[in-house]
Amino acid sequence: MTNHTVNSPQFFLTAPSPCPYLEGESERKVFTHLVGDKAPALNDLLTQGGFRRSQNIAYRPACETCRACISVRILASEFNSTRSMRKNMATNADLVATEYHAEPSNEQFKLFRRYLDSRHKRGGMADMSISDYAMMVEDSHVDTRIIEYRVKVEGDGLQEFPAGPLVGAALTDRMSDGLSMVYSFYDPNATARSLGTYMILDHIERAKALGLPHVYLGYWVEGSRKMEYKTRFLPQEHLMAQGWRRYQG
């Protein structure tokens, strides 16, 4: 495999394909490889420029007729939780979050499959096997962690491997200026917990504790119902033609 440096990455363009977010639109992506010892610095630079990481690939939309995908990052140090968010944290006070190096497990995959089968039956990840999942987690040349969320059980204490049932997991990159939530999934039956919201709130607290200013959420698409939740976490910035700009709502 060819190594690329931060100063001279090679970029490629995908062929058009149907857009998964907006009916009638087609998408194209520009991408490059994140490999070698320069990958962390390149990932930082590209994420700040609106790219996302998937395994050892950094990509961003390059659609010919649409600019609906907008990169979003939460200003963690300024974040103000709403009443409903504080209620969410209280509801999930019985969870314990444990951070590990990016290593897959059968338990994670079972939860991942349940999540996909419930929420994304027709998505591009619908047919992922356990080996595909392992690649998604392990194939990273940057500082990637997996955070497991489990229900506390009596006797867990502060042990390294909590014994409670796994209800959520987040694959997360730690960068120089923030945390990037690469992918998260959770128990689709635990609707009362609103685990998607909880994991974002947990990442905001983690970024604060690390002294990192941002939590990167990926793309927001105005008009896409499945993306509406991202604009609830304020204050936040959107990457526009003029650079990162504070979102006014």
In the chain, what are the domain boundaries?
Answer: 12-69, 73-246
pLDDT digits (tens, 9 = 90+) for 97-144: 999 999 999 999 999 999 999 876 555 677 899 999 999 999 999 999
Task: Please state the pTM of the whole predicted model.
Answer: 0.91
Which one is the CATH code of 73-246: 3.40.47.10, 3.40.630.30, 3.40.50.1010, 3.90.1170.50? 3.40.630.30
CA distance 77 to 95: 23
Residue 82 has pLDDT above 70, yes or no: yes
Residue 72 has pLDDT above 60, yes or no: yes
pLDDT digits (tens, 9 = 90+) for 204-237: 999 999 999 999 999 999 878 888 899 999 999 9
Residue 196 has pLDDT above 80, yes or no: yes
CA distance 38 to 5: 6
Q: What is the pLDDT of residue 98?
A: 95
pLDDT digits (tens, 9 = 90+) for 164-177: 899 999 999 999 99
State the pLDDT confidence band at 248, using cuts at 50, 70 and 90.
confident
